[in-house]
């Protein structure tokens, strides 16, 4: 395997791993923000209207699904 190809394979794997780490952190942040908003008195419908999602999806996100 050529050195350039090996480096490209490594770069692709590293980029995917970084994406997955960042995505996981973003999901956690969103879930925490939605739960805090609900605790502060916003309904699932209110939260959904703010972000353009259905209230059932908001409930799933808060539940970690």
Domain ranges of the chain: 3-62
Instruction: Provide the Cα torsion 16, 21, 26, 29; round to 10°.
Output: 170
Report the mean per-residue pLDDT for the chain.
95
Q: How much of the chain exceeds pLDDT 90, in percent?
A: 95
Can you give the pLDDT at residue 2?
Answer: 87
Average pLDDT over every residue of 35-43 = 97
Residue 65 confidence (pLDDT) above 90:
no
- Please tell me the distance from the alpha carbon of residue 47 to that of residue 19, in angstroms, as a whole number: 26
Single pTM value for the model = 0.79
């Amino acid at each position: 395997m050529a050195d350039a190809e090996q480096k490209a394979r490594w770069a692709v794997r590293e980029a995917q791993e970084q994406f997955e780490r960042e995505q996981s952190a973003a999901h956690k942040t969103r879930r925490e923000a939605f739960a805090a908003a609900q605790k502060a008195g916003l309904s699932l419908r209110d939260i959904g209207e703010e972000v353009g999602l259905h209230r059932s999806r908001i409930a799933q996100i808060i539940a970690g699904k």
